[in-house]
Amino acid sequence: MNAPPSARACERANDMIEKQKLKPISGFPEWLPEVRMVEQAWIDRIRGVFESYGFAPIETRSVEPVEVLLKQGDTDKEIYALRRLMEEEASASEADYALHYDLTVPMARYVAANLNDLTFPFKRYQIQRAWRGERPQEGRFREFTQCDIDVVDTRDIPLHFDAEMPAIVYEVMQALDVGPTVTRINNRKVLEGFYRALGVEQPHEVIRIVDKQDKIGPDGVSKMLTDELSLDGATIGKVLDLARVTGTKADVVERVRALGITGDLLEQGLDELHFVMKALESYPEGAFVADLSVARGLAYYTGTVYEVKFADDPSFPTICGGGRYENLVGSMLNKHLPGIGISIGLTRIFSKLVREGRIAPTRKTPTQVMVCYLPDASYEAVNGVARTLRARGIKTELFHEPRKLKQQLAYASNKGIPHVWFPAVGAEGKHEVKTLATGAQADADPESWLPEG
RNA sequence: GUGGCUGUAGCUCAGUUGGUUAGAGCGCCUGGUUGUGGUCCAGGAGGUCGUCGGUUCGAACCCGAUCAGCCACCCCA
């Protein structure tokens, strides 16, 4: 490690540049080991719930053809294009591939591509990162992990799944202990049927604006409907009447019917909404709310839509979202392949709890016991103890060099390793284990000892 | 992409009306003898004050530009 002076100077100069590179990049979160361990435990629990309902795992490539990502209309999506740095200028101008910005579109492509090998209804879960080039903010990232479950079928999807999706997510939220959440449920058919019956010609625009009621209030919605869509006062009144309807029970649909608007699509949507709310009535009051102002921005939703928020922090962005889509997968082929799904914003939820200090502090390593490398012991002896413990399924690390015990203990203590093992030395030496939290130390046998933590 | 606020050590921040060698706490490293961590004590490393330019005898401080971060909009997990 004796670099010549010139190299040293060069390193120093590089350090200046490196400092900038060492800074975190906004929107690309990274955790310390003790935090990542919790996040991994979360992922394990989410997987557990997904699999308990019979959903199978897939992983899709991180990259899709640009046309696939842009297919569903939302062309203004901020997507990251893939390009080789060494590429020739000419061919570099237009990218063929881009990082996926969600998991639903890649899933649709995957289903379309593997149609012959999948059994329908196809039920899959997918826990992967996604990328969006938007401006980062609280709760919004440029690289983040989503946990998706979807069902795709070659026939019409039974309403059973419309009710099961939010139930699964509710169970996940309970398992993760993130605090009270509210799942708001609506049905696009109700909105579209209602607006069409009113004579509105661009129901999707109305849906987009009504979705903002949460943030800008009824007056703000009213103003936008006037300014942007030039709707008349009577129509706006009805639109706002519908957006005001909420309820925790299936009978909420009667309150919509009471508004006196009728239509086939509207009725179909109300029947669906009734079924879903009825199926969820056995859950704690307030966990699921029918809210006729919820729309979800995404264009491809056609029926039931969901949106989960923290009950005690309504201004925080949506933590789970999803719904039913009639044509997303089919649009890749020429078939009718409806789907329904919901996505958990793992990074969004997790980072909030981290920031609020609500992630239980844990140790910095999974190690359960650290074997001391006693200065006068042989490497074979101490390593042998470690191997014995490890073979019994105990997470064991051997201290890496025969340093002073003071330093070995400090290392174990700083990393939060619960136990330290002092191997037997000499003919009549005894193995001892110390529990750092209490300071207690006792004789132990590597063949039978069991850790507490 | 549009608008507003902020940029001093690894982190959280002080820094007087512009004035010598820019500080604190935490963290980090070493030591306080022989085989036992946290506490305590002593010592140490670490900063061209985001970057570039301007005003000035003199700039961390004033001005401009630029970059980055945060917040709001857009959109969304």
pTM value is: 0.90
Biggest CA-to-CA distance, chain A? 96
Owner of token pair 């920031």: A355
For position A189, what pLDDT does the model report?
95
Chain A residues 323 to 352 whose Cβ lies within 7 Å of strand B are 343-345, 347-348
- In chain A, residues 385 through 414 whose Cβ sits under 7 angstroms from any atom of nucleic acid strand B: 404-407, 409-410, 413-414
Question: Which positions ≥6 away from A135 have C-beta within 8 Å?
Answer: none
What is d(CA A191, CA A196) in angstroms, rounded to the nearest whole number?
A: 8
- Which is higher by pLDDT, A425 or A14? A425
Backbone φ and ψ for A298, nearest 5 degrees, come out as -55, 135
Model confidence band, residue A21 (pLDDT cutoffs 50, 70, 90): low
A280 CA, B70 C1': separation in Å?
40
**Cα–Cα distance measured from residue A208 to residue A221, given in angstroms and rounded to the nearest whole number:** 10
Integer Cα distance of A281 and A273 in angstroms? 12
d(CA A257, CA A267): 9
Residue A114 has what pLDDT?
95
Query: Which tens digit of pLDDT belongs to each residue from A237-295?
Result: 999 999 999 999 999 999 999 999 999 999 999 999 999 999 999 999 999 999 999 98
User: Contact, A405 vs A388, CB < 8 A?
Assistant: no
- pLDDT above 90: residue A77: no
Residue A178 contacts residue A354 (beta carbons within 8 Å)? no
Confidence of residue A10 (pLDDT cuts 50, 70, 90): very low
Taking the stretch 124-153 of protein chain A, residues with Cβ within 7 Å of any atom in nucleic acid chain B are 132, 134-142, 144, 146
Query: pLDDT-based confidence at A2, cuts 50/70/90?
Result: very low
Q: What is the ipTM of this complex?
A: 0.84
Pairing verdict, β A432-435 and A441-443:
antiparallel
The rounded distance, in Å, linking the Cα atoms of A209 and A202 is: 11
User: Which nt has its C1' nearest the CA of A348?
Assistant: B77
CA A5 to C1' B14 (Å) is: 37
The tens digit of pLDDT for each residue in A134-173 reads 888 889 999 999 999 999 999 999 999 999 999 999 999 9
* Residue A436 Cβ < 7 Å to strand B: yes
Instruction: Report the distance from CA of residue A69 to the C1' of nucleotide B56 in Å, as an integer.
Output: 57
Query: Higher-confidence residue: A399 or A84?
Result: A399
Q: How far is the CA of A316 from the C1' of B13 (A)?
A: 28
Which nucleotide is closest to the Cα of A407 by its C1'? Answer: B37
Q: State how beta strands A396-398 and A369-371 pair.
A: parallel
Integer angstrom CA distances of residue A419 from A266, A364, A379, A410, A446: 64, 14, 20, 12, 13
In chain A, which residues from 222 to 261 place their CB closer than 7 Å to nucleic acid strand B? none
CB neighbour burial string for A251-280, b if at least 16 within 10 angstroms, e if fewer: ebbebbeeeebebebbeebbebbbbbbebb
A442 Cβ contacts chain B strand, under 7 Å: no
Retrieve residue A156's tokens: 């019409």
Question: pLDDT confidence of A74, banded at 50, 70, 90?
Answer: low
What confidence score (pLDDT) does residue A89 get?
60
Tokens 């093992």 map to which residue? Answer: A421
CB-based contacts of A20, cutoff 8 Å, min separation 6: none
The two three-digit tokens of residue A62, written as one number: 């991180």
pLDDT at residue A81, as a whole number: 85
Would you give the DSSP letter of residue A81?
B
A375 touches strand B (CB under 7 A): yes
> Above 80 in pLDDT, residue A5?
no
* Separation of alpha carbons A218 and A140, rounded Å: 26
Asked if the model's pLDDT at residue A87 lies above 80, the reply is no
- The spacing between the Cα labelled CA in A132 and the C1' in B5, in angstroms, equals 25
Give the per-residue pLDDT at A11.
Answer: 39
In the prediction, which pLDDT does A76 show?
59
| Three-class secondary structure of residue A386 per DSSP | helix
Strand B bases contacted by the protein (CB, 7 Å): 1-3, 28, 30-31, 34-38, 48, 68-77
Q: Are A50 and A168 in contact (CB under 8 A)?
A: yes
Name the token pair of A290.
Answer: 């029918």
Q: Could you tell me the distance in Å between the CA of residue A174 and the C1' of nucleotide B37?
A: 38
The pLDDT tens digits for A213-237 are 888 888 889 999 998 888 999 999 9
Rounded to the nearest 10 degrees, what angle do helices A213-229 and A203-210 cross at? 140
Contacts 24+ apart (CB under 8 A), A158-164: A159/A272, A159/A275, A159/A276, A160/A279, A161/A121, A161/A340, A162/A272, A162/A275, A162/A276, A162/A303, A162/A304, A162/A324, A162/A340, A163/A275, A163/A276, A163/A279, A163/A280, A164/A53
Q: Give dist(CA A65, CA A173) in Å, integer.
A: 34
Q: Which nucleotide is nearest to A144 (CA to C1')?
A: B77
What pLDDT, on a 0 to 100 scale, did the predictor assign at position A1?
Answer: 30
The three-state secondary structure class of A215 is helix
The length of chain A, given as a count of residues: 453
Q: Which nucleotide's C1' is closest to A77 (Cα)?
A: B75
| A376 CB closer than 7 A to any strand B atom | yes
CA atoms within 13 A on the CB side of A216: 13
Rounded (10°) angle between helices A213-229 and A233-243: 160
% of chain A residues with pLDDT over 70? 91
Interatomic CA–C1' length for residue A172 and nucleotide B39, angstroms: 42
Range of weakest confidence among A4-13, A207-216, A315-324, A353-362: A4-13
Q: Residue-wise over A206-244: b if at least 16 C-beta within 10 A, else e?
A: bbbbbbebbeeebeebbebbeeebebeeebbebbbbbbe
Beta bridge partners of A124: A56, A150
